[in-house]
Structure 1
Amino acid sequence: MAPAQFFSHLSAAHLLDAPLPARLRWDEVHVGVRPPDRAPRVAGVVGHRLAGLFGDPILVERLAVVSPADMWCQLGPSLNIDELVAVGDHLVRERGASGRWLHQRLPALCSLDDLAAALSGSRHVGAGALRAALPQIRAGSESPKETELRLAFVRAGLPEPVLNHELRDRWGRFIARLDLAYPAYRAAFEYDGRQHATDPGQFAKDVDRIHAVTRLGWSHDRFLAHHLQAGAAVAVDRARERLIAAGWRP
């Protein structure tokens, strides 16, 4: 790549670990330049001449990548609204102790204001989906399944949950971080991925954690992939029952 070139679109999303659907093609590399440079024309490369970018390219493991906010806008024609929300959630959250940032705490890749500015600063294909997704993005969601569950709850008329709520006992000791929490009703809901069932050590920790949460008077419900089918109808119904039992009135 020439010094003025940088990865963009789906290639940038991949390098930024964005949660992307499996249906997307990965047999082409997307490379961008700013005018007056010319977009590359090489076999296997989709070149883009990109004017009006919001931010400067960043380095990801020494690779030049379009700014996260611009990358999100470039996904407008490739993703639906919920998928854009999931990518937005990924970009605006702080990096926890997982993946390539293990044992570190790093700031978000961009802010909600950055996404809004990038969207308003230039014309984008798929702008309608981007505009619909933007107000639904939240900084606390830590996985695309958490995003999916939150969106299902809110669209079904349930209150908006607190994301990754830190539960502490009366002495201030940390007990757990809860994916989706309703502190006023002492109700917590979480999505469990496959690793929770296949890792015996993780499963044992989960059992102890749930016991600690319920000892504080909280109800706790866990959902798996099949609970999120058909618009997460099963998860929504169970959450509604829990909240009504705790005193919430629709």
Structure 2
Amino acid sequence: MGAALVGRPHAVVCGITAVRLLGFPGGEPENPAEPVHLLLPPRLTRAQPRGIRLHFTELGPDEQVDLAGIPVTSPARTLADLVLAAPHREAAVAEMDAALRSGAVPNLRAAREAAAGRRGFRPTQDWWPLADGRAETGLETRLRLMLVDAGLTPPQLQWPVRDASGQSIARLDLAWPEHRLDVEADAYITTSSAEAFHLERLRGNLLAALRWTVLRFSALDVAWYPEGIVAAVERVLAGPAVRDQEELQAS
């Protein structure tokens, strides 16, 4: 890192390098061959040295911070860069959700201002209001956006459920409390232990006893069967009377 800055007094660490220095959550694992990303004023040379990826633009007065003597793009500017570079809406909103949840940024105001007017900003304008720092995983974000697009916006995220004694028994990913519907984003974990399996089954039984309907969807469901997810949620939200009538007609 220090070597990349030598001889470049105007350079500011940016991009994925800034993400790692600032401790942003998520992202791809660090690659030893990954170049150091630096931002320079447009007037300087455009040559790309080996092991360094140079970017050229002017920073605003509040878009740079000092991190133990290393100039780095501010958290807001770094998030703006991530959003503008995201390949699609789901990835961009997942970045925003993660930054909010981790506290990397307190809100999106400064990040949105740092993105405004830059190349690629126009398509992202409607994405910023979709962010929600309560999302715990990228899969939760993708599942939530799918339901929002279908007109099924979950009223609550990370909704706490308590038993009759007031003891907490679960915290639900996406919840419709009025309908007692819980939609869970199931991340596939190969190291799941017998204890984790037992606790998950106990949680499901406790929710069932309180008459909650639990729908669980994996990344494969989200990628391959979005229509099935929407149909399942719509069916539960339709209410028992509608479901009973449908079953009677089908019999």
Global fold match (TM > 0.5): yes
2:145 partner SS: helix
Partner of residue 14, structure 2 = 8
Q: Offset at 1:207?
A: 0.7
| Residue 112 (1) aligns with residue 108 (2) | yes
- Mark the runs of 5 or more structure 2 residues left unpaired by the alignment: 243-251
Q: 2:194 aligns with which of 197, 200, 205?
A: 200
What are the within-5 Å matches in structure 2 for residues 98-109 of structure 1? Answer: 107-109=103-105
Amino acid at match of 2:59: G
Match of 1:79 among 87, 90, 99: 87
In 2, distance between residues paired with 1:234 and 1:169?
31
- Count of aligned pairs between the two proteins: 231
SS, match of residue 237 in structure 1: helix
Map 1:19-30 → 2, pairs under 5 A:
19-20=26-27, 27-30=34-37
Q: Which residue of structure 2 aligns with residue 184 of structure 1?
A: 178
Measure the CA separation in 1 of the matches of 2:176 and 2:236. 10
- Write out aligned runs for 1:129-140 (5 A): 129-140=123-134
Letter in 2 for 1:119: A
- Opposite residue 89 of structure 2, the aligned amino acid is I
Is the contact made by 1:72 and 1:84 (CA closer than 8 Å) also made in structure 2? no
Q: Which amino acid aligns with 2:91?
A: E
Distance 1:37 1:247 in 2: 70
Asked if structure 2 preserves the Cα contact closer than 8 Å seen for 1:186 and 1:246, the reply is no
- Structure 2: how far apart are the matches of 1:231 and 1:119? 34
Instruction: Tell me, yes or no, if the aligned pair for 2:75 and 2:105 is still in contact at 8 Å.
Output: yes
Distance in 1 between residues matched to 2:70 and 2:169, nearest whole Å: 39
TM-score computed with the length of structure 1 as normaliser: 0.77
Q: Is the 8 A contact 2:86 2:92 kept in 1?
A: no
Of the structure 1 ranges 211-220 and 188-197, higher mean CA displacement relative to structure 2 is found in: 188-197
Identity of aligned residues (%): 25
Counterpart pick for 2:167 among 165, 169, 173: 173
2:87 partner SS: coil
- 1-structure distance, mates of 2:52, 2:161: 48
Per-residue CA deviations over 1:159-180 (Å, capped at 9, x if unaligned) read: 3331111222343321211110
CA deviation digits over 1:38-83, x for unaligned, max 9? 88953121123442344333649x9764222212222314421221
Aligned counterparts, 1:29-40, within 5 A: 29-33=36-40
RMSD: 3.3
1:125 CA displacement: 2.0
Asked whether 1:69 is paired with 2:65, we answer no
Unaligned runs of 5+ in 1: 96-106
Task: Tell me: CA distance 1:207–1:65, structure 2 relative to 1, closer, same or farther (3 Å).
Answer: farther
Separation in 1, partners of 2:241, 2:168: 26
Is the 2:24–2:104 contact (alpha carbons within 8 Å) kept by the matching residues of 1?
no
Which of 195, 220, 225 is matched with 1:226 structurally?
A: 220
Amino acid at match of 1:52: L
2 CA distance for matches of 1:247 and 1:178?
25
Pairing 1:144–2:138 present:
yes
Match of 2:245 in 1: none
